[in-house]
Each structure stands twice: as C-alpha cells, then as structure tokens.
Amino acid sequence: MTEEIKANAIYTTEETQKLLKISESTIKRMLKKGLIKANKVGGQYRILGKEILRLVSPEVEKKAIKSYLNLKNKVVDTINKW
C-alpha cells in the first residue's frame, strides 16, 4: 500500500526515506548535495511534501511553474493596461 504524499505536509528524513524507498545514506547524500531542499529544526531535517513530489514527478513541478507564469503574465498585462 502506498501512502499519498501531501504537498503541504512536513516530513522527517525517516518518513521521506520510507516514501522514496531509499537508504539512510542516500537521503543524507541528497540533503548534503542539495537535491532535496530541507530546513533543519532542532538538529533534525524537515522536508516539505512538495519537495518529495518534485523528486518523484518533475512533470508536476513543470506544470506548476507553467501555470504560475501564465497567471503572472495575465496580472502583468492587466496592470500594464491601467
């Protein structure tokens, strides 16, 4: 049974390891190289779900960026018409 990764949820490194099915050394290496963005809280890393989703599905990130840029362009066009 696979668990759904929630974009706005916060995961520990252990939870992230289980979701991605990777070893402890791999998660440490990914954090050290900056492949996963995380915040350190009390000596432990916290990882946003959207970071995990980005790793699993880069297409989702590309769609989100495209959607954001389209919206931004509409807002800029509206403002420029004023």
Q: Which residue has the tokens 């959207």?
A: 50
- Average pLDDT on 3-14 reads 90
DSSP-assigned letter for residue 11: E
Q: Give me the DSSP letters along 28-49.
A: HHHHHHTSS--EEETTEEEEEH
CA nearest to 51, candidates 13, 79, 77: 13
Residue 2: what pLDDT? Answer: 61
Residue 56: what pLDDT? Answer: 83
Residue 3: what pLDDT? Answer: 75
CATH number for the domain running over 10-81: 1.10.1660
Residue 10: what pLDDT? Answer: 95
Task: Convert the pLDDT of each residue in 31-79 to its tens digit.
Answer: 998 888 999 999 999 999 999 988 887 776 677 677 778 888 889 999 9
Residue 61: what pLDDT? Answer: 66
CA nearest to 16, candidates 42, 43, 50: 50
Q: Where are the domains of the chain?
A: 10-81
